[in-house]
Amino acid sequence: DLAAPATRSPALETLHRVFGYDSFRGDQEEIVEHVVAGGDALVLMPTGGGKSLCYQIPALVRPGTGVVVSPLIALMQDQVDALRNVGVRAGFLNSTQDFAQRQEVEAAFVAGELDLLYLAPERLSVEATVRLLDRGKIALFAIDEAHCVSQWGHDFRPDYLMLSSLHERWPEVPRIALTATATEATRREISTRLGLDQARHFVASFDRPNIQYRIVPKNSPQKQLLDLLRTEHPGDAGIVYCLSRASVEKTADFLVQDGIPALPYHAGLDKATRAANQSRFLREDGLVVVATIAFGMGIDKPDVRFVAHLDLPKSVEGYYQETGRAGRDGQPSTAWLAYGLQDVVQQRKMIDSSEGDEAHRRQLARHLNAMLALCETVTCRRQQVLAYFGQSAQPCGNCDTCQTPPESWDGTVAAQKLLSTVVRLRNERRQKFGAGQIIDILLGKTTPKVTQFRHDELTVFGVGTELREPEWRAVVRQLLAGNLLAVEGDYGSLVLTEGSTAVLNGSQQVMLRREPERTARAPRTSRR
Ligand code: ADP
Ligand code: ZN
């Protein structure tokens, strides 16, 4: 064809011919050319950014097989099917296969008949796999979900530590590590642990401008959710995340009763049901999946219009990854989270009772604290999320705090009243009490439990009538979020922290966020 430009690169040619796309996106072209030329790369790109092509195209252009290490075993079959559909010779090796199936894939690899081979990470700790790889020709190693190598990250997989040996065994094979989740610290850790010191770093912008971030006070979460779906997302596809299997089931039932087509998804359902619900969600229009975070890894549905969280995510990384499943098509989408006092109490308790050593618990607490800071911020949510990933931005004008800036107020006196009540209870009785009892005392309520413990005789009884109950709950929540108060034991008893002292003796001022009357508003941009 004389009209074809003479300089069309093999990479671009492959993009057109195999995948049918017109052009590369963002950094894709530079990454692909770099790896095709044999360079190592560390790629940070948000979910939906197009990481797969970054290793698939070099695997096709370079001689040999691209070996892809991925922890997402459940998705390998789908990935391989999708590639075969466009004529790519792909296979996978993982624990779901029987001996014959594995042998077939191994034979194809050795015969040089595979363009891409997907491997579960634990395969590489098996010596037989290493010997197998020695018998074929390797075009590159792609390490997907590379943040799994980070021991202090939120998704550590011990098998990933083995991957440092790839380079020792095959020093001439280029490696490309990819992740959607990496702060500066995680990026450094990936680089060190995988021995990627020669790698070029490609860091894409993490901004998802079409996603509107909203975090609202949790009152009656299911009704709030229903309201959101009816007023802003009728007929839209979306994902609702809950912490427990039980609340997944309850919420899905609740939505179905109210005429919303909702499907549950959690690890307690049998495999067939899970697969059926997932494939219906992908194929049909306007379905809502109610799920634990087990759902979504690798889900590629472009028109997810909202992601709603009914419980607090454990980290900003998790929040960003889950909300990132909305709006892959670039259309306006909503990331909505309902958050309340009980979330803080529950998550702090979970950290206290979690397995692992003290350093691990401190790490979990750091993750949670960053998430809480995002919930309690009075500035732009997007700015705060991006700052967490080390990227600076202007206030977005689209998130809830930009649209309805929350007032802050001087809560020092309120905090002192609350903390002194905690002190009184600690001094006068050996027993400890939760937020409910403390707020009842401050409000001067003579409940049976108040009279039983003679809390109506305390000097602090009734000193807090200037605030209403939900406002006191917001004070408790924010003091917990700021580590000026802590929870202890199975009943969520409130106890002082080191930080409480400075508040009590007046040397620290406490600025609190006043919840706007209405925090929810439809996206600024007009929709479809
Ligand atoms: P990630 O792994 O970063 O989450 P994927 O590799 O799954 O993202 O890509 C997300 C979607 O974008 C896929 O549907 C993919 O086919 C599409 N995509 C990626 N690159 C391009 C491109 N250059 N042109 C058109 N579509 C693309
Ligand atoms: Zn904003």
pLDDT digits (tens, 9 = 90+) for 107-142: 999 999 999 999 999 998 889 999 999 999 999 999
Choose between 519 and 300: higher pLDDT: 300
pLDDT tens digits, one per residue of 226-240 = 999 999 999 999 999
Is it the case that residue 284 has pLDDT exceeding 90? yes
Nearest-angstrom CA–CA distance, 324 and 318? 10
Q: What's the average model confidence in pLDDT over 246-257?
A: 97
Nearest-angstrom CA–CA distance, 106 and 104? 5
pLDDT value for 297 = 67
pLDDT tens digits, one per residue of 75-87 = 888 889 999 999 9
Q: How far is the CA of 385 from the centre of ligand 1 (A)?
A: 23
Cβ proximity of 344 and 372 under 8 Å:
yes
Nearest-angstrom CA–CA distance, 198 and 176? 11
**Least confident span in 71-80, 266-275, 378-387:** 71-80
For the ranges 72-81, 233-242, 376-385, the one whose mean pLDDT is highest: 233-242
Q: How far is the CA of 28 from the centre of ligand 1 (A)?
A: 10
Backbone torsions φ then ψ of 66, nearest 5 degrees: -80, 120
Nearest-angstrom CA–CA distance, 101 and 104? 5
Cβ proximity of 55 and 31 under 8 Å:
no
For residue 47, the ligand 1 atom closest to its alpha carbon is 4
Categorize the per-residue pLDDT at 403 as very low, low, confident or very high, splitting at 50, 70 and 90.
very high
Q: What percent of the chain has pLDDT over 90?
A: 68
Q: What's the average model confidence in pLDDT over 504-522?
A: 76
Name which residue sits closest to atom 9 of ligand 1, judged by CA. 50
DSSP state for residue 181 in the 8-state scheme: -
Q: How far is the CA of 53 from the centre of ligand 1 (A)?
A: 7
Q: How far is the CA of 300 from the centre of ligand 1 (A)?
A: 9
Name which residue sits closest to atom 24 of ligand 1, judged by CA. 21
Is it the case that residue 4 has pLDDT exceeding 60? no
Amino acid identity at 495: V
Closest ligand to C-alpha of residue 335 is 2
Nearest-angstrom CA–CA distance, 303 and 202? 27
Q: Is 409 in the pocket of ligand 1 (CB under 6 A)?
A: no
Q: Is 280 in the pocket of ligand 1 (CB under 6 A)?
A: no
Among 378, 372, 324, smallest CA distance to 346 is for 372
User: The tokens of 335 are what?
Assistant: 């990331």
Nearest-angstrom CA–CA distance, 181 and 198? 21
Closest ligand to C-alpha of residue 215 is 2
DSSP state for residue 262 in the 8-state scheme: E
What ipTM was estimated for this complex? 0.98
Nearest-angstrom CA–CA distance, 450 and 443? 11
For residue 24, the ligand 1 atom closest to its alpha carbon is 23
Q: How far is the CA of 201 from the centre of ligand 2 (A)?
A: 28
Name which residue sits closest to atom 14 of ligand 1, judged by CA. 300
Closest ligand to C-alpha of residue 396 is 2
Closest ligand to C-alpha of residue 15 is 1
For residue 19, the ligand 1 atom closest to its alpha carbon is 16
Q: Name the residue of 13, 15, 16, 21 to mutate for ligand 1: max ligand atoms within 8 A of Cβ.
A: 21
Q: Is 55 in the pocket of ligand 1 (CB under 6 A)?
A: no
CB-based burial, 475-487: b 16+ in 10 Å, e otherwise? bbbbbbbbebbbb
pLDDT value for 83 = 95
User: The tokens of 398 are what?
Assistant: 């689209």
Closest ligand to C-alpha of residue 378 is 2
Cβ proximity of 268 and 292 under 8 Å:
no
Place of tokens 């070029």: 200
Backbone torsions φ then ψ of 365, nearest 5 degrees: -65, -40
Backbone torsions φ then ψ of 29, nearest 5 degrees: -65, -45
Among 229, 266, 263, smallest CA distance to 245 is for 266
Amino acid identity at 151: Q
Q: Is 70 in the pocket of ligand 1 (CB under 6 A)?
A: no
Is it the case that residue 453 has pLDDT exceeding 50? yes
User: The tokens of 47 are what?
Assistant: 């979910």
What residues contact 442, with CB distance under 8 A and at least 6 apart? Answer: 417, 418, 421, 460, 462, 463, 464, 465, 467, 472
The rounded mean pLDDT for the chain is 90
> Within 292-388, where are the H helices?
316-323, 341-352, 358-376, 381-388
Bridge partners of 291? 241, 265
Nearest-angstrom CA–CA distance, 251 and 262? 9
Name which residue sits closest to atom 20 of ligand 1, judged by CA. 50
List Cβ<8 Å contacts ≥24 apart for 385-394: 385/206, 385/213, 385/316, 385/319, 385/320, 386/206, 386/207, 388/183, 388/316, 388/320, 389/182, 389/183, 389/206, 389/320, 390/183, 390/184, 391/205, 391/206, 391/207, 393/207
Amino acid identity at 93: L
Q: How far is the CA of 82 from the centre of ligand 1 (A)?
A: 13
Q: How far is the CA of 209 from the centre of ligand 2 (A)?
A: 10
pLDDT value for 524 = 46
